Chain A
Amino acid sequence: MPFNSYQFLFLFLPVVVLGYFALGRFGRLPAVIWLVLASIGFYAFARVDCLAIILPSIVLDYLIARTLARLDESRRRVRAGLLGLGIVANVALLGYFKYRDFFLDTTNLVFGSHFAFGSLILPLGISFITFQKIAYLMDVYSRQVKPGGFLDFLLFTLFFPRVVAGPIVHYREVMPQFDRSPVRWVPTDIAVAICLFSIGLFKKVVIADRVADFANPVFAAPLAGEPVTLLAGWIGALAFTFQIYFDFSGYSDMALGLARIFGIVLPMNFNSPLRATSIVEFWSRWHVTLARFLAAYVYTPLVLSLTRRRMARGAPVLRGRESAISAFLVLIGLPTMVTMTIFGVWHGAGLPFAVWGMLHGLMLTINHAWRTLRPRFWRHQKSHDLIMAPVGFVLTLAGVIVAFVFFRASSVSAAIAVLRGMAGRNGVTTLDSIGSQSILALAWLAVLFVIVTIMPNSLELLAPYRPALDFQMRELPAGAATRVWGRFRLRDLVGSRLGPALVATLAVAGVLGLHHATAFLYWRF
């Protein structure tokens, strides 16, 4: 039941919200039970058998977590074994349902074998649920989290605003909020929730679903054997970049808004990433909770492990700008490439996702190298910032757009065909290459470019109300648009005079577009 559906908006959500506050009068427990049942119902609505797959895994994780918490430090090996079992069980479940067919297909292709495979169902949100449960087990293992009751764990795992596509949360971030927040109607929370959900719905239904129409024909062209010309290629790649931007950003806003109805503030997942002036900064703004998960549980342990080994061997380790090239490559380059490849493959079984991840790994490595080594030959920080901010912005945007071609294309060869077109190998082209839609496409893309780079985002518009955990207001770029927004106090959407009308317009436009709404891109992962 997608958030952008009539059933969800006009049936599920009102019933759940009214039921929650009504039961809240009888105490916290009935309301929480209601929310858990609603979340289970929400999850089962897509396919009941998905629930049958996920529930046993949740029970197993809960039992392991309880045991981990009960065992003291004298049983260290048992605890480590249990943690390993939990991680392996989760990864195996994910691997079986998400990657089995890919591996069998690849094996058949490479070795000429004939393993039979059919299409498995992919349990909804399995990638997100798996990572979240692994994080939970590790937090329990390191005693950062004390497991609560099974009901709490169910709520933590299946809380419907974020179960399908995140944000990936830590137990300690969210569950205490359920204990603290009053089970009653809080006008500020409801107002913030309305704003976030309306903005998210508009982004998804009115922008992402529409701009997809400019991307789809371009990425379909290589499959039909048609060449992609330069203009068409760039329009297609940029259109997909904006499609996934508004799709994921819209989803993230809606998830934050839905949780906020119940007084829960989820962590920031998305913060105007296309404003980034470096690829490192991009990853502090795009899919923030997955990036921090992989940084905490893959990248950092890998760096520490490699550093320890090198130190044991007497090999050089990182020493800031004095770092040796070999140390940099092994301790930054290698972990970055491994982490980002996992990042890519996490999105789906297939080479294009892996290439997308590796490209980002390469860009991050180069960016880190620049940051580490640049002071050796360019010491003047002010001149560096002055020149590299715009250059970095353009390079980052171009890198992100090019990498997204692999993310969107159905195969690596199809992606290369689009990239060849973008490089002008099939002619510089005319506006006719994508028919009469080309002018419209360029107009859309120009407007969207302004929105993503200059206009305040949903979190900034609601900054006074703490719209997300970990969100810190950064200064908006100076300019006429900022002055205009400031004039109408739209940095406080709830408190501004224009706020209700603006948000109502977005909400109505979103609802009007529901008829042709499509699934969120990240719901596939």
Chain B
Amino acid sequence: MSADAGHFIRGWLITTLLITAMVVSVNAAIDPYLLFNMPRVRWFNDRKPGFEHQERLMKAYEVVRAAPNGLILGTSRVAIGLDPAHAAWPAKARPVYNLGVVDADPFTSFRYLQHVLAHRDVAVVVLGLDFEDFLVGQRRDPSAPLPYESYLSVDRDGRPAPDRRWHYLRDLTESTLSLEALADSVATVRASMRGETLDVTASGTLSEAGFRREMAELGAPALFTRRDLDYFRRYHGRTFPESNAGQADAPALVDLRAIIELCRARGIQLELFAQPVHADLLETLDLLGAWSAYEAWKRELVEVSHSGASGVDPAVRVWDFGGYDQFSAEPFPESTELSARLRWFWEPTYYTRALGNIILTRIFGGRDTGYGVVLTGDTIEARLADVRERRNAYRASHPEAVRRVREIYDSASK
């Protein structure tokens, strides 16, 4: 029995080491989280569906390797909608890395910007802003570290993160010695063999595959209805501040100011933009009584971007793409085929890359196409009045769409 036991222990030890070595090798070779900078080989590991679990980890490492001169910051909306390779980007911004991450609030954008600037200077930053992030009550415990911050090279004061080496070891372990990594390695190979799938490109852009699939399953009207309901629930019961600049319960403005100050200090051209949303969402906001708050938010953006500016400050601009226009008023396709989709929007707040290209062309093209307005103290009121006027026109020209949103609102309010 003792001989059996000795044989068992030896066998167990050898097999344990072999299996462990095999798992580490497989995960390192497939590199599902982009930690090892392994080459992306077609049919093998060129797609990275693992970003669904580890996007913040992946982008923290990948952005440093990409050595960008231009950055896109914001939520998954910019990560999907803005193309870092688009021709409109100025030469000084290239290469551009899309550092938009899912559910990123301005603080997250600030921390990732700090992380990049700890490694290199950048020339241009484009930051997409969402009204939702600026609502009252988005408190954050200032002392509590957030999980993703351990991926970053610097602390909140911009000093080298003290535990970074340990965190790097942890990241290595998680990327090689975890069931999740193994499962994502398998998913990576499967996705690479299939082609069209959720993915993050080498320049940080998230694929539109998820929306393509959802649109094909549900069709545009059903998808919009489902999301209209989601956004109603998400905004319902939230406080809409009329003016909250500098208030303790509006940390997003404080964080935005920190981003602006950091960019000014580092001589970075900063392009802030209020992201476009479909008219469905604008109507929902109005039904919820949030319209004046939506306008107040845009005024705050102007105020924050200009406060503390020295004399001439062309480096920080605030763009407004949120309003009624030919893009946001786009109706559902006439075809009843499920595959028929809108050209400019996937759902009420996610715009397509086609619209993202138009936004980039507007920001960097230097030509006024009538879409997107630079907000300043001089232009803000006229812009708000124009949006209101266009809203009235939309309601007159799209009564069916307005009624549909109203019905969703009524049913959800019950």
Contacts and interface: CB of A to CB of B under 8 A. Distances in A.
A504 B19 contact: yes
Interface stretch (B2-10, B112-120, B248-256, B311-319): B2-10
Give the most central of A188, A192, A503: most B CB within 10 Å. Answer: A188
B72 interface: no
Contact of A188 (B1, B23, B180): B1
Interface of A: 187-188, 190-192, 194, 206, 464-465, 494-495, 499-501, 503-505, 507-509, 511-516
B15 interface: yes
By CB atoms of chain B within 10 A, which of A206, A512, A516 has the most? A512
Nearest to A497: B11
A206 B178 CA distance: 11
A194 B12 CA distance: 9
A515 B147 CA distance: 14
Contact of A503 (B1, B5, B12, B14): B12
Given A191-B9, A512-B178, 11 more contacts: A188-B5, A191-B12, A194-B8, A464-B1, A500-B11, A500-B15, A504-B12, A504-B19, A513-B178, A515-B178, A515-B180
B218 to A, nearest CB: 13
A503 B7 CA distance: 13
Contacts of A188: 1-2, 5
B66 interface: no
B206 to A, nearest CB: 20
Contact of B16 (A507, A514, A516): A507
Interface in B110-153: none
A509 B183 CA distance: 12
5 contacts: A187-B2, A495-B1, A501-B11, A505-B19, A511-B177
Nearest to B174: A515
The 3 A-B residue pairs with the shortest CB-CB distance, nearest first, are A500-B11, A504-B15, A187-B5
B145 to A, nearest CB: 18
Contacts of B179: 206, 509, 512-513, 515-516
Contacts of A514: 178
B134 to A, nearest CB: 26
B413 to A, nearest CB: 15
Interface of B is mostly: helix
B19 A494 contact: no
B243 interface: no
Nearest to A190: B9
B182 interface: yes
A494 B16 contact: no
Contacts of B247: none
Contacts of A501: 11, 15
B8 A508 contact: no
B336 interface: no
Interface residues of B, number: 24
A467 to B, nearest CB: 13
B9 A187 contact: yes
A224 to B, nearest CB: 11
B20 interface: yes
Contacts of A190: 5, 9
Interface string B157-180: 000000000000000011001111
A513 B183 CA distance: 11
Nearest to B182: A512
Interface in B32-86: none
A71 to B, nearest CB: 46
Contacts of A513: 178-179
Contact of B180 (A194, A509, A516): A516
Contact of B8 (A464, A494, A509, A516): A494
Contacts of A509: 179
A187 B19 contact: no
A191 B11 CA distance: 11
Contacts of A465: 1
Interface string B172-201: 011001111010000000000000000000
B9 A504 contact: no
Contact of A500 (B1, B2, B8, B174): B8
A512 B8 contact: no
A512 B173 CA distance: 9
Nearest to A501: B15
A187 B173 CA distance: 31
Contacts of B182: 512
Contacts of A512: 23, 177-179, 182
Contacts of B12: 191, 194, 499-500, 503-504, 507
A191 B8 contact: yes
A191 B5 contact: yes
B30 to A, nearest CB: 15
Contact of A494 (B4, B10, B14): B4
A160 B91 CA distance: 64
A339 to B, nearest CB: 41
Nearest to A192: B5
B16 A504 contact: yes
Contacts of B19: 504-505, 508
A495 B177 contact: no
A507 B178 CA distance: 12
Contacts of A505: 15, 19
A253 to B, nearest CB: 16
